[in-house]
Amino acid sequence: MTTKPTLRPECGDCFALCCTALGFARSADFAVDKPAATACPNMAEDFSCAIHQRLRPRGFRGCTVFDCFGAGQVVSQRTFAGTSWVDDPSSAASMFAVFKVVRQLHEMLWYLAEAQQRTFDPDLAVAADGLSRRIATTALGDASAILGTDVESLHAEVRTLLMEVSEEVRAAYAAEDKDAPDGGPCAGADLMGADLANQRWCGVDLRGANLIGANLSSSDLTAADLLGADLRGTQFSGADLSKALYLTQPQVNAAEGDRRTLLPPRITTPDHWE
Ligand code: SF4
């Protein structure tokens, strides 16, 4: 029986792979330029972040949004058996490359776990579980197997299954959809800055929608498909996201909300909402 890895980051067991493997550019999200495969200047010798409690005021908002879905500790402790890129510099390039793949695999596992739980169709639940176990086996394999993974093909399989479950779950709310105004919420819509507050958006398809800075305060997003929606600065104060579809921690971290915002059990309320 395949063990499915935990999808929550355990930073204490990680060799700061997000702070080294990934690059970022100076912007509203990052105060400095940092090329990929280099250590961030704020990284301490024990792989912790020296400004962890002050990331936003110091201009590193992007670090408070990122989430590795638990890939960091798996790559550090399992794939590379607890030997860091500092202790074995020859492993650094491979470790960083593996991290980027495993992070994508873990993100797929996140979505599949929800699809398996939300579907009403036993066959779809079995298919989600089977695909999830196959991906978990790959993510927990050795470095060469991970680097040889056809990630695009897995993405396509996962995408098809997620869409089937989404259509099934949202169908229960089809009556709500017909009230959406022209140019209103739909898959891929550009709703940047739109005022969508105080409404029922149950079952609406917002997959890939641009909701940057949109106002969804006090709205009900039950069964709304938010897969890949851009939620940077989206206002969710008092909104009900507890049964939204395919919501992730990075999306919530990038959004705004308050104590009244209802979130799914797997999602943690971001510190900056307090
Ligand atoms: S600022 Fe801190 S959390 Fe962000 S990349 Fe640097 S060390 Fe990591």
Atom of ligand 1 at shortest range from CA of 48: 7
Q: Of all residues in the chain, what percent carry a pLDDT higher than 90?
A: 91
pLDDT value for 36:
97
Number of helices followed by number of strands (H, E) in the chain? 8, 0
Q: How many CA atoms lie within 13 A of 53 on its CB side?
A: 0
Which ligand 1 atom minimizes the distance to the CA of 43?
7
Q: How far is the CA of 4 from the centre of ligand 1 (A)?
A: 28
Buried b (16+ CB within 10 A) or exposed e, 147-162: eebeeeebeeebeebb
Give residue 139's pLDDT: 96
pLDDT in the model for residue 118: 96
Answer yes or no: is the C-beta of 14 below 6 A from any ligand 1 atom. no
Contacts of 240-249 with C-beta under 8 Å, sequence gap 24+, read: 241/267, 245/114, 245/118, 245/166, 245/169, 245/170, 246/111, 246/114, 246/162, 246/166, 246/207, 248/67, 248/107, 248/110, 249/67, 249/69
Alpha carbon of 55 to ligand 1 centroid (Å): 8
Domain range list for the chain? 175-274
Low-confidence ranges of the chain (pLDDT < 70): 1-2, 174-184
Whether 63 is in the pocket of ligand 1, judged by its Cβ within 6 Å, is: yes
The pLDDT, as a whole number, for residue 178 is: 46
Assess contact for 245 and 225: CB atoms under 8 A.
yes
Tokens encoding 26? 């100076």
pTM of the model: 0.93
Helix, strand, coil shares of the chain as percentages rounded to 5?
40, 5, 55
Pocket test for ligand 1, best of 14, 47, 63 (most atoms within 8 A of CB): 63
Is the Cβ atom of 68 under 6 angstroms away from ligand 1?
A: no
From residue 201, how far is each of 42, 252, 262 by CA, in Å? 42, 18, 15
> Does any ligand 1 atom lie closer than 6 A to the CB of residue 19?
yes
Q: Which amino acid is at 226?
A: L
Nearest-atom number in ligand 1 for the CA of 24 is: 5
Which residue owns the Cα nearest ligand 1 atom 5?
19
Residue 40 CB–ligand 1 contact under 6 Å: yes
Q: Tell me: the pLDDT tens digits for 157-188?
A: 999 999 999 999 999 886 555 455 555 678 78
Query: Residue 60: CB within 6 Å of ligand 1?
Result: yes
Q: Which atom of ligand 1 sits closest to the CA of residue 16?
A: 8
How far, in Å, from the CA of 66 to the mean position of ligand 1?
A: 10
- Token pair in block for residue 174: 């089809």
Query: What is the CA(43)–ligand 1 centre distance, in A?
Result: 6
Longest dimension (CA), the chain: 60
Angle at 265 between CA 260 and CA 270, to 5 degrees: 55
Q: Which atom of ligand 1 is nearest to 44's Cα? A: 7
- Topology classification of domain 175-274: Pectate Lyase C-like (2.160.20)
What per-residue confidence (pLDDT) applies to 184? Answer: 65
